[in-house]
Chains A and B, each alone.
Chain A
């Protein structure tokens, strides 16, 4: 069941990491351009802008936590190299989400939520209970599933349809993470259609 993980990390580790670091910057820039660079996002938004900013800040809080959760997993020494590479890749996605959300919040005149200390996330996520690779993957999968449902659940609350679409796109990335993590743990696909969000 690690075949997908191995496929994703088939590039030699050093080259992969270097490529990853370069790709991260590119991804962030592209994401920012796509999310925050759309001037129409900031235009035509009226009294509900602050509400949308509030929703984006909750999303930013999720991304901060996800980045730190993957950091805890990567630093735990519990992950095999191939799995570690994928975890770092997923963390890069969350960093791209964070950068895009921060830029969008600022463009809308809001103040981005601050990241907490790694130790605070470790305590809140009970990182001291992680004993093996399966524990780390299970934690990551639970957070990704929660994020999918959180993003889908706030879509109706956005005043801006553009931002609602952003939430859907974020959910799509988290779904990709969740399915791959589940696959790596040998878990089955979701039982049926419409299993997310409701």
Chain B
């Protein structure tokens, strides 16, 4: 029994650094800055099912979303909740939106989340770079 206990402790000690390393790869690194190129790649792979830059598809066109009033993209039919929204899409607002859209506009229709803050920051930086041109 003691021997088995010792083996168990050994496994825990061995596994602890591995678990820590794994956790670190899945958690955001707060020292990282936003990467526009990575944001573009993420936009294409994570947002591209519904969104294009210049065409309304399942979701509205997003080239000029930064600085735009929420729920007001031309010719896009929004949910009732989003149509009633009146805030302006700032980078901070988009960060919050991508983290949990329901917290920003209850009753919205998107529901998609980017779980990692770094991913959100990169996508928002990409969208902000488009709006700046």
A residues sitting closer than 8 Å to B (CB atoms) are 51, 54-55, 57-58, 61-62, 65, 123-126, 142-143, 145-147, 149-150, 153-154, 156-157, 194, 198
Contacts and interface: CB of A to CB of B under 8 A. Distances in A.
A54 B79 contact: yes
Chain B at the A interface: mostly helix, strand, loop or mixed?
loop
B55 A153 contact: no
A58 B102 contact: no
Contacts of B47: 146
B90 interface: no
Contact of B48 (A57, A126, A146, A198): A146
Interface stretch (B7-15, B30-38, B62-70, B114-122): B114-122
B111 A58 contact: yes
Contacts of A51: 102, 107, 111
Interface string B22-46: 0000100000000000000000111
Highest count of chain B CB atoms <10 Å: which of A55, A65, A154, A157: A157
A51 B52 CA distance: 24
A61 B45 CA distance: 17
Given A124-B52, A154-B111, 20 more contacts: A51-B111, A58-B50, A58-B58, A58-B110, A62-B49, A62-B50, A65-B57, A65-B58, A124-B56, A125-B57, A143-B48, A143-B49, A145-B45, A146-B47, A146-B48, A147-B49, A149-B49, A157-B111, A157-B113, A194-B26
Given A145-B48, A147-B49, A149-B49, A61 B58 contact: yes
A146 B107 CA distance: 23
Contacts of A154: 111-113
Interface string B100-133: 0010000101111111100100000000000000
Given A54-B111, A157-B113, A124 B57 contact: yes
B116 A150 contact: no
Contacts of A145: 45, 48-49
Interface of B: 26, 44-50, 52, 55-58, 79, 102, 107, 109-116, 119
Contacts of B48: 142-143, 145-146
Chain A at the B interface: mostly helix, strand, loop or mixed?
helix
A198 B57 contact: no
A143 B110 CA distance: 17
B109 A153 contact: no
B102 A198 contact: no
- The 4 nearest A-B residue pairs measured at CB: A146-B49, A157-B111, A61-B58, A146-B48
A57 B77 CA distance: 14
A150 B112 contact: yes
B45 A146 contact: yes
B58 A142 contact: no
B55 A124 contact: yes
14 contacts: A54-B79, A124-B55, A124-B56, A125-B57, A142-B48, A146-B48, A147-B49, A149-B45, A153-B113, A157-B102, A157-B113, A194-B26, A198-B114, A198-B116
